[in-house]
Amino acid sequence: MTEKQEVERKFLVQQLPDLEQATKVRIRQGYITQTDDSVELRLRQKGDNYFLTLKSGDGLVRSENEISISAQQFDQLWPNTLGQRIEKVRWKGQISEQLQFELDVFEGSLAPLQLVEVEFSSVAQAEGFQVPDWFGDDVTLIKGYKNKALATQGIPSLL
């Protein structure tokens, strides 16, 4: 059994780069359930697409069930995510011919947080990455910067 290996690094942002060539999409996601519930129910808007995702199980038996919903259905359910939301604009652009960045500019209660992610095709490529000047600290290993942690706990306090 082979799985696609995902190698990503995540950084804070020192200063915004030139975004003229970048594409932009609005992302909102919010959690309806609480951390200790038996299932996780998430609403997500990405541009003009809306999703309801249900995750259940833990450990070996996990399942994820994502369905498309309408903008109206999204709007009807969104109030239930109050206090557990992420709202951001995601910019995608090129760092080099092979490498793309995904820059998340957070809004709402998470502003002015900005995070940038780069996906690599191998661990060697990730380790050899020449970090651009506009990148800030590497936060790849800090769990507080994961989407769900940001939504439920806010911006991590500095160590």
Q: Which is nearer to a copy of itself, 14 or 53 (CB)?
A: 53
The answer to whether residue 50 is catalytic is no
Q: Which of 16, 19, 39, 111 binds a copy of itself (CB under 8 A)?
A: 39
Task: Determine the size of the site formed for a copy of itself (CB under 8 A).
Answer: 20
Give the separation between CA 112 and CA 55, rounded to whole angstroms: 29
Position 148 contacts a copy of itself (CB under 8 A):
no
> Is residue 74 within 8 Å of residue 28, measured between CB atoms?
no
Position 61 contacts a copy of itself (CB under 8 A):
no
Binding segment toward a copy of itself, per CB under 8 A, in 21-29, 31-39, 101-109, 124-132: 31-39
Give the separation between CA 75 and CA 58, rounded to whole angstroms: 29
Position 51 contacts a copy of itself (CB under 8 A):
no
64, with CB counted inside 10 A (0-12, 13-18, 19+), is exposed
Contacts to a copy of itself from residues 81-140, by CB under 8 A: none
Q: Which of 16, 19, 67, 123 binds a copy of itself (CB under 8 A)?
A: 67
**Strand, coil or helix: what is 13?**
strand
Radius of gyration of the chain (CA): 17
Position 53 contacts a copy of itself (CB under 8 A):
no
Q: Which of 41, 89, 99, 155 binds a copy of itself (CB under 8 A)?
A: 41
Question: Which among 54, 8, 41, 5 is positioned nearest to 146, based on CA atoms?
Answer: 8
Give the separation between CA 52 and CA 120, rounded to whole angstroms: 28
Which positions are catalytic?
Answer: 31
Under the rule (CB under 8 A), what is the footprint of a copy of itself? 32-34, 36-39, 41, 54, 56, 63, 65, 67-69, 73, 76-77, 79-80
